Structure 1
Amino acid sequence: MPARTIYLIKRLETEVTANMIKILGAYEITPSQFIILNFVGDNETDLSSAQLSRRFLMTPQSMNEVVTTLQRKDLLERNTDPNHKRILRITLTDKGKEVLEICNVAMDVFEDKLLKKLKAKEREVFRGSIGKILENLKEEGEEKPKATK
């Protein structure tokens, strides 16, 4: 019997995470911190910790710890929202932008090695398939349970 797909996905995730830890560790960044920096950098509007915690399925307290750590490293900053004084908006600092750029170059090299046996079209199909699977999981999670009698 061939290995279950979910086993292969988990094995791949484990290998990718281990490599990310090693590569990003050289820049004193964890994979979670890298993903959050990327998301903040890609987002044109400033985000709050609450928005980030919902996006990454983390408790607000856990996200606050990650953001505080990145703030201590001078990679993120929090500014009061001019329209809602109780909301702190999160943005990359100049140093955060520099570190993110360096880490992205390192991740590009890793990703190329990871996918080197796939042709361009296969990479495109692979990314599309991952997107469809994630979309399906999101839709499944949004469905309300059906009432039973």
Structure 2
Amino acid sequence: MTVPDTSGQLAEQLLRLTRRLNRAQKRYLDPVGITPAQSRLLRSVAHCEAPPRMADLAERLEVVPRAVTTLVDALEANGAVRRVPDPANRRVIRIELTDRGREILRALREARRAAVEEILSPLTAEQREMLGGLLGELMQGSAPHRH
């Protein structure tokens, strides 16, 4: 008797679900006028206690500093963030969220919620709770180091 390759099936299902969620989220993000990468940077800035340096953001997002510069340039042009001098060292530039950036974050949360709701709509409340517990277990086992 052969054992079915459940790991392979699960991996394929998770990948397909992730792609579907990304497509749904993109449909909801397009009207906000922001890319997924810009969204990640905005959320990172919002989660910092004090305005972060560009290098902090690059490390947090696990990208090269040049990528952060490009994202910050686009978000600054959009009015979502602004570059501000560090009060302790004026040569250091920090990235600060603006009121427009906070509005965009609210719209992003709504877009994400709508995309997830679209994906989860076939599940009952009990199934959602079970799925949440299972995903929580999986995330605990693979939680990346947070800064």
Give the TM-score normalised by the residue count of structure 2: 0.80
Provide the residue aligned with 1:143 in structure 2.
none
**1:6/1:51 CA distance change after superposition, 3 Å:** farther
Distance 1:36 1:10 in 2: 23
**What is the CA-CA distance between 1:107 and the residue it aligns to?**
1.5
The 5 A counterparts of 1:15-26 are 15-26=20-31
**What is the CA-CA distance between 1:73 and the residue it aligns to?**
0.6
The 5 A counterparts of 1:84-99 are 84-99=89-104
Query: Is the 8 Å Cα contact of residues 115 and 123 (structure 1) preserved in structure 2?
Result: no
**What is the CA-CA distance between 1:78 and the residue it aligns to?**
1.1
- Which consecutive unaligned segments of at least 5 residues does structure 1 have? 140-149
| 1:20-52 CA distance string (max 9 Å, x none) | 222111111111111221221232221111111
Distance 2:22 2:34 in 1: 13
Provide the residue aligned with 2:75 in structure 1.
70
Distance 1:114 1:100 in 2: 21
RMSD, aligned α-carbons:
2.1
- Which consecutive unaligned segments of at least 5 residues does structure 2 have? none
Higher relative contact order (Cα pairs below 8 Å, separated by 6+ residues): 2
Provide the residue aligned with 1:35 in structure 2.
40
* SS class of match (2:82): strand
**1:12/1:84 CA distance change after superposition, 3 Å:** farther
Give the TM-score normalised by the residue count of structure 1: 0.79
Runs of 4+ in 1 over 4 A off after TM superposition: none
Read off the aligned partner of 2:81 and give its amino acid letter: L
* SS class of match (1:89): strand
1:59 aligns with 2:64: yes
